[in-house]
Amino acid sequence: MADEKKGDAQKPAGKAAAGDKAGAKPAAAPGAKPAAAAAPAATAAPGTGAAPPEKKIKPSARHTGSAKAARRKLRKKKSQIGARRKKEFTYRGHTLEELLKLPFAEIIELLPARARRTYIRGLNSEQESFIRRLRSADGPVRTHRREIPILPEFVGKTVHVYNGKEFSPVDIKAEMIGHYLGEFALTRKGVRHSGLGVGATRSSKFMPLK
């Protein structure tokens, strides 16, 4: 009787052990790597219509060479596309139309110190005669007065200024306001030397005359 009870007790224990072995997962080898998890789909399905995002190309990748050269080329391209507007002329913050409307006393205050002092001290008879002739004349006016500062009312006129040898024509522009007439009629010319003449030096003594 005792032997039968022992046999019955060993049978369920053996079955349980066998069930544990069947349900247990096989142990991983010590050198083996764990299985990787399922990676999400990298690309969309062809039927969905979704496109992968485009990567922005750097300036250095568009052009061969360094990044500095690429930026220089882009700046040059932009400058060619955008047309430059002509900058409007201003003198001490006033346009030419505003200067012509200002009274004479306010115009003098805008001039440089030396030109302002010339008008404050007063002009002589020859200088005043030239200004009267310039205001009333339609064509060019000749003068020896090189020391007269240019006023806004002179703009657009042509003055032939004496330079010591001849009368040099000067077309007065807005950028000349505050300067003297003599600054635009030079009294000297640059010296230009030609080739050596025959007999000038010993080396040129035997130069061919052809």
pTM: 0.54
DSSP state of 176: G
- 91: alpha, beta or left? (left if phi > 0; alpha if psi -120 to 50): beta
How far apart, in Å, are the Cα atoms of 64 and each of 58, 61, 81, 203? 12, 7, 22, 55
Question: Tell me: the pLDDT tens digits for 191-210?
Answer: 887 766 666 666 655 556 55
Burial of 21 (0-12, 13-18, 19+ CB in 10 A): exposed
Task: Reply yes or no on whether the pLDDT at 65 is more than 60.
Answer: yes
Q: How high does pLDDT run on average in the chain?
A: 76
Per-residue pLDDT reduced to its tens digit, 121-161: 999 999 999 999 999 999 999 999 999 999 999 999 999 99
Supply the pLDDT for residue 94: 95
| Domain edges within the chain | 96-184
Q: Is a pLDDT exceeding 60 seen at residue 15?
A: no
Whole-number percent of the chain with pLDDT over 90: 47
Q: Phi and psi (nearest 5°) for 167?
A: -90, 120
Which CATH superfamily includes the segment(s) 96-184?
Answer: Ribosomal protein S19/S15 (3.30.860.10)
pLDDT tens, residue by residue, 38-59: 444 444 445 555 666 666 655 5
Alpha-carbon gap, residue 189 to 40, rounded angstroms: 85
Does residue 88 have a pLDDT over 60? Answer: yes
DSSP β-bridge partners for residue 141: 159
The better pLDDT of the pair 29, 163 is held by: 163
